[in-house]
Each structure stands twice: as C-alpha cells, then as structure tokens.
Amino acid sequence: MHLDPFELHRPTTVEEAVGLAHDLAGRTDFVAGGTDLLPNYKMHLNVRPHLIALEDIPELRGRSLARIGAMERLADIESDAALARVYPGLADAVGEVATPLVRSSGTVGGNLLVETRCFFFNQSLFWRSSLGYCLKADGDKCHVVPQKERCYATFSGDVAPVLLVLDAEVEVAGPSGRRRIPLAALYDATGDGIRRLTLAPGELLVAVHLPEGARGRRARYKKLRVRPSYDFPELGVAVAGRWDAGRVASMHLAVGGVETYPRRFDELTAPLEGCALSDTAVRGLAEAVMRKLRPVHNTFLLPDYRRRMVEVYVRRAIAEAREGAAE
Amino acid sequence: MPSRDALSFRLNGHPVELACEPARVLLDLLREDLRLTGTKRGCDLGTCGCCAVLVDGRPTLSCLTLARLVEGRAVDTIEGITPAQGLSPVQRAFVEHGATQCGFCTPGFIVTATALLRANPSPSRAEIERAISGNLCRCTGYAKIIEAIRAAAGAD
Ligand SMILES: Cc1cc2nc3c(=O)[nH]c(=O)nc-3n(C[C@H](O)[C@H](O)[C@H](O)COP(=O)(O)OP(=O)(O)OC[C@H]3O[C@@H](n4cnc5c(N)ncnc54)[C@H](O)[C@@H]3O)c2cc1C
Ligand code: SF4
Ligand code: FES
Ligand code: FES
C-alpha cells in the first residue's frame, strides 16, 4: 500500500508548527506517532497534501506527575513506575492500547485525538468504492443510520476515559495563543463522528496536565475488546473514587468506545457522594449509565451486547477502584 | 546542504544516504530501495509485526514509520541482527525449538525478542507473552516461539 504524495514539514517549536498549520489550514494534518493517521492515509481516508511532523518539538515531550507532553510515547508512559504507582488507572489504560509494537511509536496526544472508527469507514478504498462512500469520507449518506444525516463513528481511544475521571486538563496552542481547558471540553458533545473535537483548524495539543487532586483518587479502567492483545475498545469504562470511612468522598465515571466522544457521567455519580456504596447503589448506577448509552451497529460486537456489558463493566470498574482505595 | 530528498541514517551499523520521497514509509525504503527483504510486509497497517525493525534500539513498525523521520538515527533490521557468521542466540533458539515454520513472521519475532532480551535479560513467561503480543504467527501456535525465547534468555 502506498501513500499518496505529500509535503512533510518538520517544525522545531510549537509556534512554528501552529503557524504552518494556520497557513496550510484545510490542507494539512499533524503527525505524531503516525499509528492512527498512516493506516487511514494508506486506505485513502481524508488524505491531505501536507503533513506536519511533531517529532522535533522538544516542548511536546517530558513526563512528570503533573504534566505529560503530547508526544510522549505510550510505551514510555507504560514503563514509568512513578506514574503507574500514582495513577494505576492510567497504567491500565495505556497498557491496553493496541499492541506493544504500536505503543512503541504511538503517543498520548495522538491517542486523545485518535480518529473515530466505524466498520464502514476503516476499510480500503476498493471496499468503500464497492459499497458507496459515506458521510465521513467522500460520500453523502450514512450506512449505519441511513435515515439521518449524521455520522455515528465511535470514539475508540483508551486513554481519554481515565484522564477524564482524573480531571485532566489539556494545553492547546493556536494562532492566537495558548489555552488550558478541561479534557472534557476537547470533545464536542453536540457534534458527531465527523465534528468530534472543539479544536479550531490548526490547533495543536501541547500537553496533558494532571491536577494535584488527581493523586489521591484511585482510578481503574476496564476494556471490552474482541482479541485481548489487539483490538480497539468496544467499550471502555473508567472510574475514579475516594472513599472516607466507607463512604464515597468523590466519584467520577467515564465511558469510551460507545459514542462519538468519551463521556463523563457526573450527573449520575455526584448524588452518591457521602453515601455508603451498597451493592444495590452500584447496580443502580450501572443501570443508569447503561440506559444513557445507545451503541449503534458499526463495530464488531452487536450493540445490544455492548450496551448490556456497560452495566457489567461499570460494576467491575467500581469494585476494583474500591479495592485499590481500601489499600 | 543535503538536497531536499536526500536521507541519511545508520543502517545496520553503516552510514547510508539515498533519495527519499516524503510519502515513503521505512518498510518500502528498506525492501524496495535498499533491497533488504528480510523485513517482511504482512498487513502494511500495523497489525502483524512482520515489519518490525529497531530504530535507535526501539522495536518499531517500519510500515507505519515515515522514512524521512529516521534521518540521523540508527536502524537495525534482521540482516543487521544476524551475525556475519552463523546465527544470533535468539535465532539459534528459534531453529532449535522449531519456532519457525513458514518463516514469514520470524524476522519480526526475532527483532521483538532481541529488543526484549536487551531491555530485560531474564523475562518471565508472562513478560514474553506480552512483549510478542503485537506479532502474529499463523503457523506455530506461539508455544514454540515462547519456548525459544525462554531458552535464549537462559530460562531452561
Ligand atoms: C493495530 C492497531 C491497533 C490499535 N489499537 C488501539 C487500541 O486498542 N486503543 C486505542 O486507543 N488506539 C488504538 N490504535 C490507534 C493508535 O495506535 C493509538 O490511538 C495511538 O495512541 C495514536 O497515537 P499516534 O501518536 O500514533 O497518533 P497519530 O496517528 O500520529 O495521530 C492521530 C491523530 O491525532 C492528531 N494529532 C496527534 N498528535 C497531535 C497533537 N499533539 N496536536 C494535534 N493533533 C495531533 C493527528 O493529526 C491525527 O489526526 C491502534 C492502532 C493500530 C495500528
Ligand atoms: S457512522 Fe455512518 S457516516 Fe459515520 S463513518 Fe460510519 S457509515 Fe460513515
Ligand atoms: S506489515 Fe507492519 S505491522 Fe504488519
Ligand atoms: S511461522 Fe508461518 S507465520 Fe509464523
């Protein structure tokens, strides 16, 4: 498989990268580890004539308990013992992304911005040309829900749900300067599988910031996938909690792999604060989360199964987070 | 100044310089331009691990690496890992333990296992299984491969 020709740019500062992206708006993509972008390019999905490599920008690197540069490789985050000790949920999630060979190149920034996925989209040009293209690339209808003019492609990054429940923020650089926003605000909850981010064209993700408060929370991530060593999530549930004398001091829950963006459920978890979390309460929460999610048939497993697994995985994630907290 | 399309890096210990289009991936550069066909093209999409090489010692999927981004780096392929005479300890263990059948996946496994043993000379069975979980083999069923890596690590 060959890539269509493109120009490759190698800026060495964030400002230079952002300037290039601004000048080439609509005709360029950033490339970090390339493990998501290049397979899509090889399948001729939304290719652009310019690529801006983020490889040579030192500011996008560096790891500490407070900040992880966007270009940090997943394999390096995974083997960072200090990070794993303080953020076990992050270690869970990073270690479940793709395969070790993919994690060797894949970055955390690329993972947060990974392209949404769909059975009808992640296919070769030949395959797609046979069926007819869809809204997300080259076409004008959706094969999953044909009666709507909306794309249901699934957000399939494993790291975002955990960073959401840890209240991570992301630092974004654009032509008009820098801003720091909660990770949740990076995703467009009112968009769809195509308009999935709130980033303006040419905006660059610089780093993930973890607040002081995240360190006391015990988070866990549970992932449903077909082949345990390979596949993208069919569902990913992250839970973070603090317990105080058997009562919930705080609890956050986020789900990825089901909708077009990773979603936090504060409205369901906030009322649990101060409660002793009985099995009935956990079951009630798990069922409430399940009722809010509507998977469509665009991945391998059937939507009804994925939906029912939401309830199971929420219960498992809470049980494990609680065990960790009791240590 | 090198011309826009000249790429130079160290390949198996030796400096190389050649013309390279920006849209070329390292796998194509190795197999088609440098005629090093030990590195295999399986899926070409990151799923099979047949194309693994070492870049600055790190196991890397050459099918998903833009060749121009290895400028100035050290790339080691299966040809470089193979000693001038005979076989490396990992290769010998693969032969002795029947860990290779059709052999198509073998270069990728040798590269991955070599990197693993350099970083962790005595891995547990679970660590071996995890390390090779991005390499697919359609023939062996993996048991012999795991045995071979354990033997190369001196575990039995
Ligand atoms: C076989 C295989 C299996 C996979 N399985 C999984 C899986 O189980 N779970 C999972 O989460 N992912 C999976 N992936 C997808 C991918 O490998 C990971 O999500 C990885 O973390 C992507 O990071 P990257 O650096 O390679 O991103 P890239 O491919 O370089 O970029 C991804 C996207 O983000 C944009 N981007 C990257 N960095 C920035 C930045 N700093 N600022 C602005 N935009 C940026 C790019 O323009 C591109 O659109 C898999 C990939 C393969 C090939
Ligand atoms: S959900 Fe519909 S529009 Fe979106 S990628 Fe799939 S088929 Fe295309
Ligand atoms: S050819 Fe590169 S992973 Fe299959
Ligand atoms: S020996 Fe044939 S694929 Fe592994």
Q: Cβ(B41) to ligand 3 under 6 A?
A: yes
d(CA A30, ligand 3 centre) in Å: 22
Number of domains in chain B: 2
Q: Does B60 touch chain A (CB under 8 A)?
A: yes
DSSP string, B38-105: TS--SSSSSSS-TTEEEETTEEEEGGGSBGGGGTT-EEE-HHHHS-SSS--HHHHHHHHTT--SS-SS
Radius of gyration of chain A (CA): 20
Please tell me which of the candidates B23, B52, B112 has its beta carbon nearest to residue A3. Answer: B23
Cβ neighbours, 10 Å, residue A223: 24
Residues lower than pLDDT 50 in chain A? 327
Instruction: Check if the interface score ipTM surpasses 0.85.
Output: yes
> CA nearest A195: which of A135, A128, A139, A236?
A135
Say yes or no: B103 and B137 in one domain.
yes
Please tell me which of the candidates B28, B44, B134 has its beta carbon nearest to residue A102. Answer: B134
- CATH class of this structure's domain A220-326: alpha beta
- Output the pLDDT for position B1: 34
E-strand spans in A183-315? 204-209, 218-224, 235-244, 247-256, 263-264
- Output the pLDDT for position B2: 35
CATH (domain of B66): 3.10.20.30
Ligand nearest to the CA of A204: 1
Rounded mean pLDDT for each run of 10 residues along chain B, 156 residues in total:
72 97 97 98 97 98 98 98 96 97 98 97 97 97 97 84
The shortest C-alpha distance from A7 to chain B (Å) reads 6
Which chain A residues are within 8 Å of B57, Cβ to Cβ?
none
Q: Cβ(A144) to ligand 2 under 6 A?
A: yes
CATH (domain of B99): 1.10.150.120
- Output the pLDDT for position B4: 53
Distance linking the first and last C-alpha atoms of chain A: 51
Say yes or no: B74 and B96 in one domain.
no
Say yes or no: B63 and B108 in one domain.
no
d(CA A229, ligand 4 centre) in Å: 18
- Output the pLDDT for position B52: 98
Say yes or no: B76 and B128 in one domain.
no
Q: Does B61 touch chain A (CB under 8 A)?
A: yes
Task: List the single residue in B with minimal CA-CA distance to A229.
Answer: B133
A106 vs B52: CA distance, rounded Å: 14
A192 with A151: CB under 8 angstroms? yes
How much is the pTM? 0.97
A218 with A87: CB under 8 angstroms? no
Cβ neighbours, 10 Å, residue A3: 18
Note whether B25 contacts A104, CB cutoff 8 Å.
no
Note whether A2 contacts B23, CB cutoff 8 Å.
yes
Say yes or no: B55 and B95 in one domain.
no
DSSP string, A121-145: TSS-HHHHHHH--BTTBB-SS-SSS
A221 vs A316: CA distance, rounded Å: 9
Ligand nearest to the CA of A142: 2
Q: How far, CA to CA in Å, does B42 sit from each of A50, B79, B106, B135, B143?
A: 27, 18, 12, 10, 21
d(CA B100, ligand 4 centre) in Å: 6
Say yes or no: B74 and B35 in one domain.
yes
pLDDT digits (tens, 9 = 90+) for A20-54: 999 999 999 999 999 999 999 999 999 999 999 99
Say yes or no: B23 and B46 in one domain.
yes
Say yes or no: B101 and B62 in one domain.
no
The domain limits of chain A are 59-212, 220-326
Name the token pair of B77.
């392929």
Q: Which domain holds residue B94?
A: 89-152
Please tell me which of the candidates B21, B52, B66 has its beta carbon nearest to residue A5. Answer: B21
Place of tokens 């030192």: A58
Say yes or no: B62 and B93 in one domain.
no
Q: Cβ(A83) to ligand 2 under 6 A?
A: no
Taking the CA of residue A152 as reference, the ligand 2 atom at the shortest distance is 1
Supply angle C-alpha A227, A233, A236, rounded to 5: 125
Note whether B46 contacts A230, CB cutoff 8 Å.
no
Ligand nearest to the CA of A170: 1
Say yes or no: B69 and B96 in one domain.
no
CATH number for region A59-212: 3.30.465.10
Q: Does B73 touch chain A (CB under 8 A)?
A: no
B50 vs B59: CA distance, rounded Å: 11
- Output the pLDDT for position B43: 97
Per DSSP bridges, beta strands A7-9 and A50-53 are parallel
Say yes or no: B76 and B97 in one domain.
no
- Output the pLDDT for position A7: 97
> CA nearest A183: which of A292, A250, A233, A256?
A256
d(CA A32, ligand 1 centre) in Å: 8
| Beta partners for residue A67, in sequence order | A209
Q: Does A125 touch chain B (CB under 8 A)?
A: no
